[in-house]
Each structure stands twice: as structure tokens, then as C-alpha cells.
């Protein structure tokens, strides 16, 4: 897209749809600093850990994935990945669902599932993100689809993920109080820090929900969670953070 056109589209999108986001920048900075010291998501992590231990446990998780318990942390840092028992590429939230089902447990409401997924992801903390998009044909296919979804301009403003997160014209620009960030930056470690507590929403959300919020605020059709396209986007976005150190729960404005 030529630069001029991009800027017009860009300024037309300045009304960010996060209505709950009404704090002044100074208040927000202070709130953020406090929350950094004491991430509210720690409570969710505890809850998720208790539910996980009660319903599944690490031994069953390792068995389902076909790895030893010692290998679990590194293995969990490679999600989304193709899981043989499921026959498809799974995100960690989908893995939580699959495990509950495989163990004859009821799949809980979304909020509980999110906290359980958060805990399962935290098992990989301090490991490096290692999504292998060439591991098998299934991952290759999902990566290619994710890249297409990422680059493609969609919606009534013709915006793409690429346009806000990779294009040199956009990076560093502001959208209301938010700066366009390079999600492939190793220092930022974007995908290594989700699920995160998002202050604008006052709750823990998964990376899939974050992508949906980006889709909504940029006028793109919001893709359903768990859809092939959404999982593919998560594969693509997570691969961008390969090599970054896992640290969940994150804390985001
Ligand atoms: C209109 C511009 C815009 C578009 C289009 C857009 N985003 Fe975003 N995105 C943002 C902003 C602004 C943030 C918040 C950055 C922050 O946390 O400071 C963000 C945050 C993110 C994050 C979290 C970054 C982090 O470090 O925590 C990810 C991942 C992401 N977007 C992926 C996507 C994907 C994938 C798409 C396409 C479906 C997309 N975005 C489309 C503006 C956009």
C-alpha cells in the first residue's frame, strides 16, 4: 500500500474500540507500575494450578503428549504444535480441553479454562519459545495459512496485521494511548508473555482474545476462537517470538 493511503486509513482508525479504556496517561502509567510489582493475574495462575492438579496433573499431561515429565517445560514452550493423539495442531487452551475430555472430565466454563491454560503455559516459564513450523506437514500448512492471514488486508478499512505490527511506516506510531509494536522483537517477547492480565479489560486474556481485539478495533471480521484461521494466526505470531524467554502471566496495558 502506498504510504499516503496508509496514513489516511490509519487516522480514520483512531477511535479505538476499547471503551473501558478511559484513564489518563499519567494514571495509567502509575497503575501499570504498581501492577508490575504485583500482577493481578497471579491469583488466576493459582486457581488454574489448583484446577489443573485436581483434574489432570503433570503425569497425565506428559503421557498424553508422549514425553517424559522432565521434558514437559521445553515441550510446552513449543505450542501451538501438532499433537498426535488429537490429530491436529492444538493451542494450549485446546490441549486443556482435549485432556479434560480424554480423562472423562467436564470441560469447564471459558474463564476456568483460560486460567487452566495459563497455568499449563506457565510450566514452560524460563524456557525459550520453540515453535517448529517445519516439524510436520500439519505445522507447515498452519504456518502458511497464518502468514497469509497476517499479511492480508481485510475488513472495511483494508488493514492487515502486517500493516500495524511489521510495516516500518506504522511501528512506533500511536493509536490512542497505545503504540504500534513490533511483535517480532525479541526484547518484547510478545507471544512469550501471553496469557496476560490486560488492564484495559481488567482480566486475564489469552493471545487469541488479544488477536480478536486487534481484529475488532481495526475493522476486520473477528475470527472465532479455535477456528483453523485463528489457530494458524497463533502459530504464525508465536513463531515470531522463537528464542524469547517464556514469562507468563504477562502484564499489558
Ligand atoms: C490498527 C492497528 C492494528 C492492527 C491492524 C492489528 N493490531 Fe495487534 N495491536 C495493536 C496495538 C495498538 C496493540 C497493543 C500494543 C501494546 O500492548 O502496547 C496490539 C497488540 C497485539 C499483540 C500483543 C503484543 C504484545 O507485545 O503483547 C499481538 C500478538 C497482536 N497485536 C497481533 C495482531 C494480529 C495477529 C493482527 C491481525 C489479525 C493484529 N494484531 C492487528 C494494533 C493493531
| pLDDT single digits (tens) 82-109 | 999 999 999 999 999 999 999 999 988 8
Q: Does 17 reside within a domain?
A: no
| 194 shares a domain with 160 | yes
Q: Does 219 reside within a domain?
A: yes
* Residue of 176, 214, 223 with the most ligand 1 atoms within 8 Å of its CB, for mutation: 214
* Residue of 16, 36, 164 with the most ligand 1 atoms within 8 Å of its CB, for mutation: 164
Question: Which residues in the chain show pLDDT less than 50?
Answer: 1-20
What is the 31 CA–ligand 1 centroid distance (Å)? Answer: 21
Place of cell 497463533: 234
| 210 shares a domain with 110 | no
- C-alpha cell of 16? 479505538
- Which one of 73, 92, 122 terminates a domain? 122
The pTM assigned to this predicted structure is 0.88
pLDDT digits (tens, 9 = 90+) for 141-171: 999 999 999 999 999 999 999 999 988 877 7
What pLDDT, on the 0 to 100 scale, is given for residue 10?
Answer: 35
| 154 shares a domain with 115 | no
Phi and psi dihedrals of 109, rounded to 5? -60, 160
Q: Does 28 reside within a domain?
A: no
CATH number of the structural domain spanning residue 239 = 1.10.760.10
Determine the Cα–Cα distance for residues 216 and 169; give it in Å rounded to an integer: 21
Taking phi first (over 0 means left), then psi (-120 to 50 degrees means alpha), and beta for anything else, what does residue 7 get? alpha
Q: Which domain holds residue 166?
A: 132-252
Ligand 1 neighbours, Cβ below 6 Å, are 13, 150, 159, 161, 163-165, 175, 178-181, 183, 188, 190, 193, 207, 210-211, 214-215, 218, 233, 237, 252-253
What is the 160 CA–ligand 1 centroid distance (Å)? Answer: 10
- Which one of 78, 94, 122 terminates a domain? 122
User: For residue 108, what is the DSSP state?
Assistant: -
Q: Does 25 reside within a domain?
A: no
| Closest atom, ligand 1, to C-alpha of 13 | 1
How much is the CA Rg of the chain, to the nearest whole Å? Answer: 18
Residues 6+ apart with CB under 8 A from 194: 121, 205, 206, 207, 210, 248, 250
| 141 shares a domain with 103 | no
Amino acid at each position: 500500500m502506498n504510504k499516503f493511503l496508509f496514513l489516511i486509513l490509519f487516522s480514520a482508525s483512531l477511535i479505538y474500540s476499547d471503551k473501558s479504556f478511559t484513564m489518563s496517561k499519567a494514571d495509567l502509567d502509575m497503575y501499570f507500575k504498581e501492577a508490575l510489582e504485583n500482577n493481578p493475574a497471579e491469583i488466576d495462575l493459582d486457581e488454574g494450578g489448583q484446577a489443573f492438579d485436581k483434574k489432570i496433573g503433570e503425569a497425565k499431561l506428559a503421557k498424553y503428549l508422549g514425553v517424559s515429565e522432565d521434558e514437559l517445560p521445553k515441550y510446552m514452550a513449543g505450542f501451538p504444535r501438532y499433537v498426535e493423539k488429537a490429530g491436529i495442531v492444538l493451542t494450549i487452551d485446546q490441549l486443556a480441553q482435549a485432556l479434560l475430555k480424554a480423562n472423562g472430565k467436564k470441560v469447564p466454563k471459558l474463564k476456568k479454562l483460560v486460567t487452566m491454560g495459563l497455568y499449563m503455559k506457565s510450566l514452560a516459564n524460563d524456557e525459550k519459545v520453540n515453535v517448529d513450523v517445519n516439524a510436520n506437514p500439519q505445522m507447515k500448512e498452519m504456518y502458511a495459512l497464518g502468514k497469509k492471514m497476517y499479511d492480508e488486508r481485510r475488513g472495511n478499512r483494508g488493514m492487515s496485521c502486517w500493516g500495524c505490527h511489521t510495516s516500518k511506516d506504522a511501528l512506533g506510531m500511536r493509536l490512542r494511548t497505545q503504540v504500534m509494536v513490533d511483535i517480532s522483537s525479541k526484547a518484547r517477547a510478545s507471544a512469550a508473555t501471553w496469557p496476560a492480565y490486560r488492564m484495559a479489560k481488567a482480566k486475564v486474556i489469552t493471545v487469541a482474545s488479544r488477536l480478536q481485539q486487534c481484529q475488532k478495533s481495526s475493522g476486520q471480521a473477528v475470527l472465532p476462537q479455535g477456528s483453523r484461521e485463528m489457530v494458524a494466526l497463533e502459530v504464525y505470531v508465536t513463531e515470531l517470538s522463537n528464542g524469547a524467554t517464556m514469562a507468563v502471566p504477562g502484564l499489558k496495558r
